[in-house]
Amino acid sequence: MNENDAVVTVEEESSMNEPTKVSVHTNEVHPGLIETLQTNNNKQIMPAFAEQTMGEQNGAIDDKILNNTDANRYFTVETAQGYIAINRDFKDQTEGGRLLSYIAQMNSWPAAIFTKLNADRRILTFHIANNPYRINASNVASAALLNGKNIENQLGIHIVDSGIGNPRQGSQLSVDQASSSRLTIVTLVICVLVLFTMAAFVLLYFVKRNDRIRNKLAEITHIKGLSTNYYQDLCRQRMQVQPTGSKSPEIHKVHQSSPSSAAPTTVTAGSHVKHNSEGSSTRSSTSSWSEEPVAPVNMDIMTGHLILSYMEDHLRNRHRLEAEWQALCTDEANEERASCSIALSEANANKNRYIDCIPYDHTRVQLTNNGNDDYINASVITDSDPKCKYIATQGPMPNTTNAFWQMVWEQGSCVIVALTRPIENGITMCHHYWPVEGSARFNDFEVNLVSEHIWSDDYLVRSFYLKNVQTMETRTVTQFHFLTWGELNNPPSAKALLDFRRKVNKCFRGRSSPIIVHCNDGVGRTGTFILLDMVLNRICKGAREINIAATLEHIRDQRAKMVKTKDQFEFVFVAVAEEVTYLLKALPQ
């Protein structure tokens, strides 16, 4: 080696098994060394390390990784000689030649530049002859790694390493793959950040959900703040008031807690509506519901607290509520469904808004017709009393509106509970089956809008005259329309729906005809309202055992898919707890 040649010093960085790095020193610093790599007889001498004059070249060399652990060893790296390492032994020298020929073909190089090929076990070494293309072993090594996938697909050779020098003589430099490593690291960092962001959003959702539930529980259980002694005093006072030998406890009437004592805003239609001197309209005297208090409640304090504890336990124990809902869904899926052949018949296919929300044959409402056209997508729902209590139906369609009013007439219904807007989020949920003003004719029936009472932002009440033009008979029908309950969601508050239900029950009290309840499909919101009303009616009648899951199963035996989501199922528990709390407060203390 000449005196002025640069030599490479291999220094171990630490005992932490980190790869050794290449640094460069010179025997003599000479201004002529401050230039790029010098080639002499196909041997490239590494540039000298001079911090003040060659920092940039040293940085490039320092990044090269040397697969040699013999510290303080000096050698000269030949850039005319290169190597390629694969993951198995070469079959023969010919396979090594094919590999280099394929690399030359992909890069449009002449194959003649490769000399001194030697395939020894897993390493192929070669020399690059002097050529006008300025191709050296470093170019070949880089091309081998960059085209590794194509080489593996075409030749079945998997390249694991390549570089310049001769690894068997301990003098080689691997091709720098830092860029691909950095890309991998950046990709992993981005993936981790995305996962953390998603996890943060999910955590935030559940935190807010739990806060809402805790606030609701705090609202509906504030009566629990009574001390144990005070509660016992209430029970003793109640027992003392009851006369000796009486057969049943005293019946108390629970009055509605109205948000305001003001009369509702009224939109009038026809001459039945009167106006006062100030121009404000009043309700028509033909309205079929009144301001009398809710039905008497046959529930004592002890039963009320037991029911309230049952509801609170389900709301606090998320696993229990989830298990009951999953059991309901599993039972409905596994049970052999009753026949729906009439609803699925070709003649009735266009009368169903949704093909999966249809009535069973044995519970469907049958219209009175001379022909066979007696179908409407509506189901009879009963409680323990075999007398029809509800009719659950889909929102009328343009081609089923006549049948809907015929059903109202033939079933003798005086109350319609509508739980959907005609259009929600641009999607038609229900045909506008009532007149906006004046009257409208629906086959043999004429519907006349008498008045429209806007009670709150959540609901309004309409009063109709329904006339049979064949017999000239007339009836009054009241529609209770809840406006703020979106599909697959819950009402804005339990209080709003409970107040709405009280209005419905005031109108319905004392009547034997069924309540007609509909949303868009006749199962989601419709099933939730019927389940809530049925459970609360049982409580008001003095039932001491309440099982909401069993009640829903009883309802689903009469119309499939009633209550569509777990959130709607959970909402019934919240609403029942709030109503029982209200009834307990209304009992005389």
Check whether residue 43 and residue 116 sit in a common domain.
Answer: no
Residue 313's pLDDT is 86
Q: How far is CA 237 from the centre of its chain?
A: 51
Check whether residue 473 and residue 542 sit in a common domain.
Answer: yes
Q: DSSP H helical segments within 383-489, as ranges?
A: 401-410
For residue 160, the domain's CATH number is 3.30.70.2470
Catalytic residue ranges? 519
Q: DSSP H helical segments within 42-163, as ranges?
A: 55-62, 93-106, 137-146, 148-155
Check whether residue 488 and residue 518 sit in a common domain.
Answer: yes
Check whether residue 91 and residue 21 sit in a common domain.
Answer: no
Asked, for residue 391, whether it belongs to a domain, the answer is yes
Domain count, the chain: 3
Check whether residue 28 and residue 152 sit in a common domain.
Answer: no
101 or 265, which is more confident: 101
Residue 30's pLDDT is 37
Check whether residue 122 and residue 10 sit in a common domain.
Answer: no
What pLDDT, in 10s, does the model give residues 149-163?
899 898 999 998 898
For residue 432, the domain's CATH number is 3.90.190.10
Check whether residue 57 and residue 94 sit in a common domain.
Answer: no
Check whether residue 30 and residue 110 sit in a common domain.
Answer: no
CA distance 511 to 501: 16
One-character DSSP codes across 252-267: BPPPP--S-SSPPEEE
Asked, for residue 263, whether it belongs to a domain, the answer is no
Check whether residue 56 and residue 160 sit in a common domain.
Answer: no
What pLDDT, in 10s, does the model give residues 313-366?
888 888 899 999 999 988 876 666 778 999 999 999 999 999 999 999 999 999
Q: What is the mean pLDDT of residues 178-183?
A: 60
Q: In which domain, by residue range, is 88 found?
A: 81-176
Residues facing residue 7 across a β-bridge: 25
Check whether residue 14 and residue 133 sit in a common domain.
Answer: no
What pLDDT, in 10s, does the model give residues 124-173?
999 998 888 888 888 898 888 888 889 989 899 999 889 888 887 766 66
Check whether residue 52 and residue 137 sit in a common domain.
Answer: no
The domain boundary, picked from 19, 46, 75, lies at 75
Burial of 379 (0-12, 13-18, 19+ CB in 10 A): buried
Asked, for residue 465, whether it belongs to a domain, the answer is yes
Asked, for residue 309, whether it belongs to a domain, the answer is yes
Residue 507's pLDDT is 87
Check pLDDT > 90 for residue 485. Answer: yes
The domain boundary, picked from 75, 101, 121, lies at 75
Residue 216's pLDDT is 65
In contact, 544 and 565? CB cutoff 8 Å: no
The domain boundary, picked from 150, 176, 202, lies at 176
Residues facing residue 23 across a β-bridge: 9
Q: What is the mean pLDDT of residues 557-585?
A: 93
List CB contacts of 486: < 8 A, sequence separation 6 or more.
Answer: 424, 425
Question: Is pTM, for the whole model, over 0.85?
Answer: no
Check whether residue 68 and residue 93 sit in a common domain.
Answer: no
Both tokens assigned to 391: 């009719």
Question: What's phi and psi for 209, nearest 5 deg?
Answer: -65, -45
| Angle, helix 524-540 to helix 494-508, in steps of 10 degrees | 70
φ/ψ region of 92 (left if φ > 0, alpha if ψ in -120 to 50, else beta) reads beta
SS3 category, 144: helix
Asked, for residue 483, whether it belongs to a domain, the answer is yes
Asked, for residue 499, whether it belongs to a domain, the answer is yes
